[in-house]
Amino acid sequence: MFTGIVTDLGVLRVLEKRGDLRARIGTTYDIAGIDLGASIACDGVCLTVVALGADGGNWFDVDISAESVEATNIKAWSIDRRINLERALKIGDELGGHIVSGHVDGTAQIVAMADEGDSTRFTFRAPEPLAKFIAPKGSVALNGTSLTVNKVDGCDFGVNIIPHTKEVTTWADSAVGDFVNLEIDTMARYVARLREFD
């Protein structure tokens, strides 16, 4: 489990197609504090560490299944791309965002960006099957970042990203047309499921 509070900006160093896709991600995390098998959210996708920087380099490797590549924006990853990283939640950690599983539901597309004061209003278009789970003042995880929805209009929804968030995440790298990983709020998922039995 994660909270959607990004704690490092990783850099993609190697992408290698094997049986699965192998990615090597540079990090400022203390590699000595990461175990093989640990879960790290990479742009919101929960991935398992399969190798660590044994050569003294500050990096970790993850294997990514074809299904994960297809369901996320990983298909657009390229060398030197920055990605949002978050270590798994530990008992006693501060829950600064919302409960995020790292199981991405699909991708949303940035359809507009506009400055509002010092913040930037992003408008996203969600796939129709997921749009019903997104509500004003609700939470979503976008590229692993916990964000509050400001406005919903059909499949489109808006969030404001403050300067601090842009500084410590990859949101400053964004452009209209980009696809981002979308995880809907777990609570919304269960409420919708319960309503099926009414």
How far apart (Å, rounded) are the C-alpha atoms in residues 2 and 95?
Answer: 9
The two three-digit tokens of residue 134, written as one number: 């997104």
Print burial letters for 9-22: b (CB count within 10 Å at least 16), e (below 16): bbbbeeeeeeebbb
| Tens digit of each residue's pLDDT (9 = 90 or more) over 125-135 | 999 999 999 99
**pLDDT beyond 70 at 55:** no
Residue 71 has pLDDT above 70, yes or no: yes
Separation CA 12–CA 66 (nearest Å): 18
Strand-pairing partners, residue 114, are: 121
Nearest to 158 by CA among 87, 191, 110, 196: 110
pLDDT at residue 90, as a whole number: 79
Tokens of 119: 């913040």
**Structure token digits, residue 160:** 């404001």
Answer yes or no: is pLDDT of 24 > 70: yes
Average confidence score pLDDT of the chain:
92
Q: In the structure, what pLDDT confidence band is assigned to residue 186 with cuts at 50, 70 and 90?
A: confident
Q: Rounded mean pLDDT of 9-21?
A: 94
Average pLDDT (71-97) is: 89
Q: Lowest-pLDDT range, 57-66, 84-93, 148-157?
A: 84-93
Give the chain's domains with CATH numbers: 8-87 (2.40.30.20), 106-195 (2.40.30.20)
Find residue 22's DSSP bridge partners.
Answer: 16, 63
Beta bridge partners of residue 181, listed in sequence order: 107
- In this structure, are residues 140 and 149 in contact, taking their beta carbons and an 8 Å threshold? yes
Query: Phi, psi (5° rounding) for residue 67?
Result: -65, -40
Whether 193 shows a pLDDT value over 70: the answer reads no
pTM for the whole structure:
0.92
pLDDT of residue 175 exceeding 90: yes
Contact yes or no for 104/43 (Cβ under 8 A): no
Q: How far is it, in rounded angstroms, from Cα 22 to Cα 16?
A: 5
Confidence label for 93 from pLDDT (cuts 50, 70 and 90): confident
Q: Which amino acid is at 57?
A: G
Instruction: Provide the pLDDT for residue 198.
Output: 65
